Structure 1
Amino acid sequence: MEQRDPLVAGQVPQHDLEVKALLNAGRLQEANSLFDQLVSRTPPGADRWVRSFVLVNRAKLAWRLGRIPLALELAAEGWTDLDGEQGDNPAAAQAMHALAYLLEGIGNRRAAVDMMRMSVAVARRAGVPEVLGQCLQGLGGTLNFRAISSPPELAPAIFEEARRCLREGLELTGDPQSKRALLGAYSRSLAGVGELEEAEEHARETLRQSREADDKWAAAVSNWVLAVVRREQDDLVEARTLASRAVAASEAINDPSLLLRFSLDLADICARMGDHVGEAAALRCSVAAGRTATETLQEGLGQALEQRRVAVQAQRLAVAAQEAAARDPLTGLANRLGLERAASGLLEGTAGQGRVPWLVLVDVDRFKGVNDDAGHAAGDATLREIAQLLRRECRAADLVARWAGDEFVVLLGDAGGGARDAGPAVAERIRAAVDGHDWTVVLGSARRPTVSIGVAAGPAKLDQLFAAADMALYRAKRQGRNRVEVEPRVGVQEDARPRV
């Protein structure tokens, strides 16, 4: 017979099943050791739904083992994988079922019921009986707990819905462990609707099977149901004994959800008997179980805060990296990438206000000679000085960039875009500032640098403005350098001419 994927068949990986069996037997140390061996492994070739199921199921095991931070981490990762359209995937249904258990455990009860209902809907579409049976057991058990904490007038209808779910689940599943869980939960729903004899019958059968399988989880549930039946029959002495057994078993398997519920019922029984010592002990037990949920929420908030801090830090680093990528490290000006990123917004904003965009293209005259005469360090210092002069002569709204090598670009912002001669005026200030600057500290007796500048105005497109300004710059070079030329033919595309 062809072997099917065990997850598709409605089962968890074998080692995960062994951990659960050890937990249900109260063998916590062995369960912990085996869990450590499997926690980082996922089935080979697992798709996203199988991976999600394995992660969330292991989060459930970690929760049972008291390893709260790990449980939260696994649950968050599995839940992320679960996001999206689940369709009819049985592993997705199982993942949702396990996630709902965790939500119930930390006290998010409304979300737990909603998630259980979704798991049942997905499992029905999947058409895998074992998976649907498991999901129905989860929904029915959750509804039982919801009915217990609901107003008396609402409880019977909720118990009845739970009974229908659990009865259907019993007809679907053949797995002994799932069968015990379904049978125990079914007996509690029967007690909830007043069918006490049938509830006792199914609870005793669950208890018998649990002893044969060394399943303390099922034993805890069945003793609890029997205690509820005896309480309703006003046999409080036996009810107290049975409820104490349920509490002890739930403590042994470290299930805080069961422990909280069972200890509260034990306290109620003791209160009815006037056993104040027993009531106080049961209440202390319930407080301890409730503290686990509180600590989980606190742990989750702490992790969420840390994750948010890391996310903010990563966002800042990403922004800093983007800014660094768009900035020239030598001069501190925007580089070519930074200019191209910012230009469209600046040009469109200028044109949108009815102003003419201006581009000023600045080139250092005979810069190679500066490097040759004074050295490359002095050449770098010269470029930094020119960058400072550009900043000084331009306004805050202007975009100043180092285009490449010894070439700089200034795009005039809104503050200067309206004047008819704004571009030439700024360009002339820049030329005069460079020409009149004291270069002695930087270059000593070496030849002083000057700049040639091309200016263009026209359509709000960087490439057209640059091409026009480049033609004007070529003329400035040809006509003697250290001068400003304005290009009247904006938008004309020509091949770039060599610079001298």
Structure 2
Amino acid sequence: MEQQEPLVPGQVPEQDREVKALLNAGRLPEANTLFDQVMTRLPTGLDRWTRSAVLVNRAKLAWRLGRIPLALELAAEGWTDLDGEQPDSPAAAQAMHSLAYLLEGIGNRRAAVDMLRSSVRAARRAGAAEVLGHCLQGLGGTLNFRAISSPPDVAPAIFEEARDCLKEGLSLTKDAQMHRALLGAYSRSLAGVGELDLAEEHARETLRLAARADDKWALAVGNWVLAVVRRDQGKLVEARTLASRAVAASEAINDPSLLLRFSQDLADICARMGDSVGEAAALRCSVAAGKTASETLQEGLAQALEQRRVAVQAQRLAVAAQEAAARDPLTGLANRLGLERAAARLLEGSAARGRVPWLVLVDVDWFKDVNDDAGHAAGDAALREIARLLRRECRAEDLVARWAGDEFVVLLGEGNAPDVGPVVAERIRAAVDAHEWNVVLGTARRPTVSIGVAAGPAALDQLFAAADMALYRAKRRGRNRVEVEPSIDLPV
């Protein structure tokens, strides 16, 4: 296996970062191919929080690639590791940040903001500057979108909080990709609080850095912010051009959420200009983006449901296979494996309730003669009849099994009466002896059973050994009889 450098807490594996860079560059087929390679391995030696961060970050990448069932599966697994305590790990902060992205994607916006605030608190507790910058970018960018959709009297305060988060994030991060994301979001929050000149300055710097790095995500954001600035300055023709560029860039990177936001702003600019054709085109783009996002989520959830159905079906088949492996196909009783699996639980339950378990060992007399006289098919039919008689004479909670060949075992776990084992054994013997065998065996020799019985708070093998001794006596003393072995360490 390829050796990998150990991850610093909060660090994302290099190939995961490459997938994100390909996504931001609009190189979706390459991103998908690399992501498939990434998913074949998880870095080894990860602590709980780092493993969670890697899983949830990959869930975020899967979401952007439209692989919704995989995204949900990865997110659920990573989220589980975060439950139960207040983490102070940079990796936990990263995981929360990525989870917030997914919560936003499925429309749980309040939970997304709460998760982002938790990620910021975790990063602060951990003292991880770079991770804190990343989490502040997520919170600030999300607050920007909240402000845009909020009433005019509420929006400025939300933009101000976003601006403060993003400004702090810019002072912390040294990562070039994250710097571009922070700078673009910061410029939008500046425009939101009316600082248009400063917003334009940072938006142009975002575009310059984006062009150098082939980062279409940052290119889309930079053009969007400039479009907002020009709109608010009343320069609508230029605003329309810039907004159109933002829409085109967001289409190239397959980001429905950005496309939805940018196309709505383009429609607003066109409406202010009286450009009904442009407004209609932008609205169609907006509706299509919303429809794409909705259909992607619905299709993904449908796929997730189908995968869950298949998993449940597979689980049921596995359980059925386990049950089949523990069941005798001829008689339908538990086989030796089934008896050994269930006996421990039955014996433990009996001990817990202060009951004495009994083991009844049944052996068919003269069974070889039955096979020789009537044939093996008739012999099999006789065994099935004896199995039916055993079930009839025992309770549902008793464990009845075919041990081997013509030997059967009954384990009674609720032996409340002191003689319940011998009583049940005698019922079984009498039922077999009195059974009408002519239909099954014709004129062949009628089978009877010899039975050995033992009791005591002992393990299955000890009970079996004691009952076997009693069975031997029953055979030696003439067959078609019940013998009871003295109790094994029974309390007085």
TM-score range normalised by the length of the shorter chain = 0.7 to 0.9
- The residue correspondences of 1:377-396 to structure 2 (distance < 5 A) are 380-394=380-394, 396=396
- Of the structure 1 ranges 381-390 and 15-24, higher mean CA displacement relative to structure 2 is found in 15-24
Give the Å deviation of 1:171.
0.9
Contact 2:220 2:245 in 1 (8 A): yes
> How far 1:246 sits from its partner (Å)?
1.9
2:55 and 2:78 in contact (8 A); partners too: no
Aligned match for 1:340, one of 334, 339, 343: 343
CA distance in 2, matches of 1:162, 1:236: 26
Shift in Å, 1:319: 2.8
Q: Given that residues 7 and 91 in structure 1 are in contact (C-alpha distance below 8 angstroms), is that contact kept between their aligned partners in structure 2? A: no
CA–CA separation in structure 2 for the residues paired with 1:36 and 1:110: 30
Cα offset, 1:214, TM superposition: 3.9
Q: Confirm whether residue 431 of structure 1 aligns to residue 434 of structure 2.
A: no
Distance 1:276 1:161 in 2: 36
Corresponding residue number in structure 2 for 1:476: 474
Equivalent residue for 2:160? 160
The number of equivalent residue pairs is 480
Give the conservation status (yes or no) of the 8 Å contact 1:9–1:128. Answer: no
- C-alpha displacement at 1:150, in angstroms? 2.6
CA contact (8 A) 1:226 1:242 kept: yes
Task: Give per-residue Cα distances to partners, 1:233-254, cap 9 Å, x unaligned.
Answer: 3444433333223222222332
Q: Which string of whole-angstrom CA distances, capped at 9 and with x for unpartnered residues, describes residues 345-394 of structure 1?
A: 88579978xxx876543222355666677777665554333223323444
Give, in angstroms, the shift of residue 186 of structure 1.
Answer: 0.7
**TM-superposed deviation, 1:210:** 2.9
Inter-CA distance 473–286: structure 2 relative to 1 (3 Å threshold): same
Counterpart of 2:228 in structure 1 is 228
Match of 1:290 in 2: 290
Q: How far did 1:170 drift?
A: 0.8
Gaps of 5+ in 2: none
Q: 1:476: Cα distance to partner? A: 3.0
466, 477, 487: which one aligns with 1:490: 487
Distance 2:353 2:367 in 1: 33
Three-state SS of the structure 2 residue aligned to 1:68 is coil
> Which whole-Å CA distance do the structure 1 matches of 2:242 and 2:202 have between them?
15
Distance 2:299 2:221 in 1: 29
Q: Does 1:124 align with 2:92?
A: no
Stretches of structure 1 that go unaligned for 5 or more consecutive residues are 494-500
Q: Distance in 1 between matches of 2:18 and 2:349?
A: 65
Q: In 2 relative to 1, CA 328–266 (structure 1 residues): closer, same or farther, beyond 3 Å?
A: same
Partner in structure 1 of residue 80 of structure 2: 83
In 2, Cα distance between equivalents of 1:216 and 1:421: 84
1 CA distance for matches of 2:374 and 2:111? Answer: 73
The one-letter amino acid of 2:263's match is: S
Question: 1:361 aligns to what SS in structure 2?
Answer: strand
More deviation in 402-411 or 31-40? Answer: 31-40
2:450 aligns to what SS in structure 1? strand
TM-score by length of structure 2 reads 0.80
What is the TM-score normalised by the length of structure 1?
0.79
Measured after TM superposition, the shift of residue 139 of structure 1 is 1.8
Q: Which amino acid aligns with 2:286?
A: S
Q: 2:59 & 2:353 partners in 1: Cα distance?
A: 57
Pairing 1:69-218 to 2, within 5 Å after superposition: 69=67, 72-74=69-71, 76-77=73-74, 79-81=76-78, 83-85=80-82, 87=87, 89-218=89-218
- Residues 1:403 and 1:288: Cα distance change in structure 2 (over 3 Å): same
| 1:42 positional shift | 4.5
Is contact 2:456–2:489 with CA below 8 Å preserved after alignment? Answer: no
Give the partner amino acid of 1:450: T
Q: Deviations 1:184-206 (Å, cap 9, x if unpaired)?
A: 11111122223233222222332
Q: Distance in 2 between matches of 1:9 and 1:463?
A: 53
